[in-house]
Amino acid sequence: MRRLIASFMILWLVMVRVSSNELTDKTKKQLFNQLANLFTQADKKVMPLLFSNLLTETEEIMIMKRLAIIVMLSKKQSPYTISKALNVSSSTVRETAKKRGKGDYQDIERSLKKKDFDNKKFWETVDQILRMGMPRYGSGRWKSVYKMLDE
């Protein structure tokens, strides 16, 4: 669990804009470790609150989309399909695929295969984020994704 949280936090830190006032490597490591400890010690009820309190809505969406890209790549979906389904640029998909090819997301992928990860709930959440509260385009919008994930 600690590795999964660390992987998510690395994604978050890489994706957000950072102040031009850089921290020393030692300070970054200390802050990162404190943040990791905060998340790993939180119970399941508090964890979502930590994310919502620390992240902006844009950061939450970016992380969900990045995770969705990783899931879809692991299911052998084409970059074109991923780009269109998630409304992300093809360069974002390519960069994520390149990092995945180097093994950067192994911990995330292992965690996604565990029984306590609810694929259906995840895709419903992604759908809700992509729609931003708008009505569904059709009742079977994610049917093909669910089928792919069950394979």
The secondary structure of 46-64, three-state, reads: CHHHHHHHHCCHHHHHHHH
Tokens of 120: 């259906």
Shared domain for 74 and 138, answered yes or no, is yes
pTM: predicted TM-score of the whole model, two decimal places? 0.65
Per the domain annotation, does 85 fall within a domain?
Answer: yes
Residue 148 belongs to what H/E stretch?
helix 143-150
Domain of 75 in residue numbering reads as 61-151
Instruction: Tell the residue number behind the tokens 């978050």, with chain if given.
Output: 12
Would you say the C-alpha torsion 116, 148, 100, 123 has a positive or negative sign?
Answer: negative
Q: What percent of the chain has pLDDT over 90?
A: 15
Shared domain for 104 and 72, answered yes or no, is yes
The per-residue pLDDT for 4 is 61
The dihedrals phi and psi of 50, each to the nearest 5 degrees, come to -60, -45
More confident of the two residues 101 and 130: 101
Shared domain for 76 and 91, answered yes or no, is yes
Q: Total structural domains in the chain?
A: 2
The predicted-structure confidence for 47-88, as pLDDT tens digits, reads as follows 778 878 888 888 888 888 898 899 889 888 889 888 888 889
Shared domain for 126 and 91, answered yes or no, is yes
